């Protein structure tokens, strides 16, 4: 047993002893709880865990700052319960190798205050050519402001179908749900080699008055299907970093902030 593993096991034993000796709930909560927060393993933005439950894939992926609580240590792995977020794995047990725990898990959690993005509608422009997509679009432009930064976004690029620009209102920004690698963002990365990260990490939008993902997202790109799509690619890193380490207090990590849209 490694030193790291032995430390985890000693915490479990100590917690079990306290559980047996006292009915003090606060004491049971204080002793033997190891809380960690996810950090990304690479510039894709996700960290892979082995699911300790029936699942179709060998790994599941969690975004940065997802909260984990250690439940046990086995020979090769530290086992954790997913405690918050928007991933669909809350309450599930996952495992990470002992070697990777100090590399990709941290004691430091997200900021417990809400992010705010303000979006102001601008002009509708036809014939906007994207060299990356090799196509001309009609773009509903807007300006997004966050953390002292202004950036051009598009609110819709695909017309005549089900997609429309997002309505004005005070919407909520959710924590990332899953990797959106099925949407090809390689062209955006190639435009700025080595300078753009986490293009597969998208932030769902819960429209005003709702609690769930509207299928609209905040993401990088030149094509918007009713999303808030950051057109100025080089500013994506700043937006990602601003959003990912925020969590709305009391929301169990489900929401990161607010999206205020004005006509």
CA 58, CA 160: separation in Å to the nearest integer?
40
**What is the tens place of the pLDDT at every residue in 142-190?**
999 999 999 999 999 999 889 999 999 999 999 999 999 999 999 999 9
Report the pLDDT value the prediction gives residue 32, as an integer from 0 to 100.
58
pLDDT in tens, 19-28: 333 334 333 3
* Residue (of 110, 99, 59) closest to 256 by Cα position: 110
Output the pTM of the full model. Answer: 0.88
Q: Where are the domains of the chain?
A: 3-106, 115-262
Consecutive 10-residue runs of the chain (263 residues): their mean pLDDT?
Answer: 52 37 37 86 97 96 98 97 97 98 98 98 98 97 99 97 96 98 96 97 98 96 98 99 98 98 98
User: CB count, 10 Å around CB of 176?
Assistant: 30
């Amino acid at each position: 047993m490694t030193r790291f593993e032995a430390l985890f096991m000693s915490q479990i034993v100590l917690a079990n002893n306290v559980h047996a000796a006292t009915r003090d709930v606060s004491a049971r909560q204080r002793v033997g709880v190891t809380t960690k927060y996810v950090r990304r393993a690479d510039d894709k933005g996700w960290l892979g865990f082995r699911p300790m439950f029936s699942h179709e894939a060998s790994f599941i992926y969690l975004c940065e700052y997802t909260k984990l609580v250690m439940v046990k240590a086995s020979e090769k792995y530290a086992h954790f319960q997913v405690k918050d977020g928007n991933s669909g794995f809350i309450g599930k047990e996952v495992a990470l190798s002992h070697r990777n725990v100090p590399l990709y898990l941290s004691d430091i959690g997200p900021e417990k205050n809400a992010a705010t993005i303000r979006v102001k509608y601008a002009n509708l422009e036809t014939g906007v050519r994207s060299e990356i997509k090799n196509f001309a679009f009609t773009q509903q432009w807007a300006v997004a402001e966050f953390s002292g930064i202004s950036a051009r976004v598009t609110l819709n690029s695909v017309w005549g179908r089900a997609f429309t620009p997002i309505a004005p209102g005070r919407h909520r920004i959710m924590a990332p749900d899953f990797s959106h690698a099925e949407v090809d963002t390689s062209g955006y990365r190639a435009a700025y080699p080595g300078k753009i990260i986490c293009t597969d990490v998208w932030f769902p939008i819960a429209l005003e008055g709702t609690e769930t993902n509207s299928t609209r997202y905040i993401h990088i790109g030149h094509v918007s299907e009713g999303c808030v799509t950051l057109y100025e690619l080089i500013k994506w890193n700043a937006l990602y970093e601003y959003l990912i380490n925020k969590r709305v207090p009391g929301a169990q990590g489900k929401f990161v902030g607010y999206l205020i849209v004005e006509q």
